[in-house]
Each structure stands twice: as structure tokens, then as C-alpha cells.
A and B are shown apart, each in its own frame.
Chain A
Amino acid sequence: MTSTLNPAGEHPAGIPDYPMARAAGCPFDPPPALRAKQEEGPLTKVRLWDGSTPWLVTRYAEQRALLADPRVSADVTRPGYPSPAPVNGSSKISFILMDDPEHARLRRMVTAPFTIKRVESLRPAVQKIVDELIDDMLAGPKPVDLVEAFALPMPSLVICELLGVPYADHDFFQENSKTIIKRDATPEQRSAALGQLAGYLDNLLGEKLTNPGDDMLSRLTERIKIGELSRQEAAQMGVLLLIAGHETTANMIALGTLALLEHPGQLALLRDTDDEKLVTSAVEELLRYLHITHNGRRRAALEDIEIAGQLIRAGDGLIMANDIGNRDPEAFPDPDRLDIQRDARHHVAFGFGVHQCLGQPLARLELQIVYSTLYRRLPTLRLATDLEQIPFKHDGSVYGVYELPVTW
């Protein structure tokens, strides 16, 4: 349609690039351009690295509706899927990038350890890990990098224990995980890192096939033995659980601590409370407010879908920008205010629909224990540098800080 072109023959500058940059000095807030898109309407277009122009879904209600809609696909190989970076066929990480029934078949094999009761039974073990890491911090030199000393080892130790992965190998899998979630990694680099991890998990599965223990990978070998699961599928699942189990929670611990240090009133409320309910609501509010998965949830429409007065065509890409969805004033009044006493349980930080984060009960438990322990045991915790010096992860698919120098 020539009517949409300007005199120079170019498309009007109405379609902004995505992702957008955060404002300088506002590391906890979504990009201002994303707020502007939300005010423009629930569904508008953005332009990606490859020139494609998927829908950007910015409002909470439409995000939930579309994430729960079976006409919307999470399969990265579908036409129109708005990939955050170049991919090749081997970049598929298990069931998060599959649709039902395959997705459900594989996911249900690993849901048992994440029931509320099973996760709750881990509370003493997780508390012990948290206490021991804090003991080490207190006994060692200061200042210290909270990411390296606490935020990363804490969830890594927990997921290693659950999966049956030796924690001694953490340097190897954390390096490869970093490459996989780095936005500017080449398809070759990402694929090589995935190959390294898949090979590592395949070896471990091989050992557990003959020498099973009491862990998730060993239970997957039982499925392999009876032919319900191939060894390759099991290795891919192991890669997914290992990466998802440490990267996300680690970033929530470090970024959440930084946000609380910048909101001393909120930190004091949390530090001085004996009320478990306040700790729980603080975790939900920080998940809502920070939203570390800042690249949105990506989908492709399988059929024509009409929503909010727009017609999404089959084959159109969709980006549900949950970071701005969690700041939708319709769903969360005064959304840019961090308020640990509000009810934020309906946030979409873990996604929504059948792909909602499998490990969210464990992540919630870990964060509840961390937030109710760390600041109480280190009541004078403070930054050992200026906020301006903190390196933020603007370049990854998981947002957070690379380092957090603290002292007490």
C-alpha cells in the first residue's frame, strides 16, 4: 500500500526496534519506549534484528489471554516465530520450545519433584545452604561480590542436588549457560555451548543408567529403560533444567538485593518482620517489579485470532512483553512503586499458560529463604560501590547484574 509510505519511499518511522534500551539511572524500570507502546495500545508492531515486524503485546490482560490460547505456538521453528537471535535447528532446548502434545508428554515426566509438598520438604536443606554460604561470607574478606559469593552458588547447589549433577563441575556448566543466554552470541557459539552441555548430560545419564541415585536424572533413566524417553530427549531436558535452575534465581537474588538496598524503607520492613506472609508477598512483588526475563515471551499464531480489536493473522509473530505487563496500571495500581505489602501474586514473571515456569515453586521457596535470611544476618549490608558502577546485563535474555560488590 503506497499510502503507508512517506515521499522518500520508506516506511514511516512508526515501527520502533525491539528490544528497547532502559533509561540511564533507572535500572529497575522497563524501557520508557515500552511504556509509550503500552499507552499506544495493547497490540502494536515492533521491528526485530532480522527486519521482521511481530506484534508487541504490552498489556497484562491480552498477554494472559494469548499465552493461554492453544492457537498460539511456542515452537521456534514455526513460520513467523519472532526469534530473539539467529537460530539453527540444534538450538532447540527441550519442551519449552515445543507445543502439546509433545510438550505435555515431556513436561509431565519432570513435574513430580516440583509439587508444592515436595518443594516445601526441601526447605531445611535450602536453609542450610543459605546459612552456610552466609557463614563463609562472614568469615571471609570484604567487600565481596554477592553474585559470586552467594547469588549464583545458592541456586546452583540446589539444582545440582535435585538433578544429581556434581557441583564440582559448576564452572563448566555456568560458562556454557552464559553463552546460551547471551543475546549477541552467534548461532555457532550458542549451538556449540548447547552441544557441550548436552554431551555432559548424556555422559551423566550414561553413568546413572548403570548406577542410579536418588535424583531427577536417575529417575529419567528409568523412562529411558522402558522406552518412554530417548537418551537425547533426557539430555536436552537436563540441559534445560540445569540452566533454568540457576541463572534465573541467581539474577533475582542479586538484582532483588540491589533494588532493596535502593529502597531502604522496604528493606527495613522485610528485615524486621517475623511475618511469613510479608516475606511471601515481598518475593511476589520483587518478581513483578524486577521481571528478569526482559525479552518477553515469544510465540507464533497458528490461526487467525481476533483480540482487543486487532486481527492477528496465522503466521504472525507475537512478543508478550511481560516486563511492561507487570507494570500495567490496570492490573497493578501505581505499578512503578515497589511495595512489598501489595498483593502481586497474579504477576506474569513466570509466564502464563501451559509453558508457565516449571520450577516456579522452587524459585519461590529459594527466594523466600534468601530474603528472610540474608538481610537479617547482614543487617548493615550495603553497596561497596556507586550504583553507576554496577554492570547490568543489558545484553542477555536474562536481566540482572554481572557483579554486585557489597560490604557490611
Chain B
Amino acid sequence: MKVIIDQDKCVASGQCVVAAADVFDQRDEDGIAVLLNSDPPAEQAADVRHAAAVCPALAIHLEE
């Protein structure tokens, strides 16, 4: 799985961090999402898919 985030679209909801804290983080200064791991292991795939599904700005794209 490859994870891509569109930081221009991100609205800093942090829901990706709640869903998959090993893969997503937030910038301290404005909460915009940053990737910790663009190629997460299989056991984190379900959490990452959930993160993409709840992202209100549709800023997370997955290549499976």
C-alpha cells in the first residue's frame, strides 16, 4: 500500500492520526497532516483505509 496526502486540501481534523498514529502525524504550527510512513505494513492497512474514509477533506489517497 502506498499513501499520499494532499496537504493543500487538508483541514487539520487530525482524524487520520486518531485512526493510524503510526502512519500519520500533524504539524505543530497548523495541524496539517504529515506522513510518517508512506508504505505502511499490511497489519496497518485497515487503520489506514479507515483514516482515508473519515478524512473530511478527502486529502488521503491510497494506491493498493
Interchain CA distance A112-B31 in the complex, whole Å = 5
A356 within 8 A of B: yes
A116-B17, A116-B18, A116-B26 known; A111-B12 Cβ under 8 A: yes
Q: Which residues of B contact A (CB under 8 A)?
A: 9, 11-14, 17-19, 26, 28-32, 50, 53-54, 56-58
Tell me if A345 and B14 are in contact (CB < 8 A). Answer: no
Given the contacts A108-B30, A115-B31, A354 and B12 also touching, CB distance less than 8 Å = no
Determine if A115 and B26 form an interchain contact, defined as CB atoms under 8 angstroms apart: yes
Residue among B30, B50, B54, B56 with the highest chain A CB neighbour number at 10 A: B56
Point out the residues of chain B lying under 8 angstroms from A77, CB to CB.
none
Asked whether any CB of chain B lies closer than 8 Å to the CB of A84, the reply is no
**In whole angstroms, how far apart are the Cα atoms of A67 and B13 in the complex?**
15
Indicate which residue in B18, B19, B31 contacts A114 across the interface (CB closer than 8 Å). B31
- Contact (Cβ within 8 A) B12 A115: yes
Number of interface residues of A (CB under 8 A): 23
**Total A-B contacts with CB atoms under 8 angstroms apart:** 57
Q: Does A80 contact B (CB under 8 A)?
A: no
A361 at the interface (CB under 8 A from B): yes
When the two chains form the complex, which single residue of B13, B19, B26, B58 contacts A117, counting CB atoms closer than 8 Å?
A: B26
Whether the Cβ atoms of A68 and B50 lie closer than 8 Å is: no
A319-356: CB near B (< 8 Å → 1, else 0) gives 00000000000000000000000000110001111101
Given contacts A68-B56, A346-B54, A354-B11, contact A112 B28 (CB under 8 A): yes
A52 at interface (Cβ–Cβ under 8 A)?
Answer: no
- Chain A contact residues, CB within 8 Å of chain B: 67-68, 104, 107-108, 111-112, 114-119, 345-346, 350-354, 356, 360-361
Q: Which residues of A contact B53 (CB under 8 A)?
A: 346
Known: A111-B31, A115-B12, A116-B14. A68 touches B54 (CB 8 A): no
Do A356 and B11 have beta carbons less than 8 Å apart? yes
B56 to A114, Cβ gap below 8 A? no
Residue of A whose beta carbon sits closest to that of B13 = A356
Complex Cα spacing A56 to B13, Å: 26
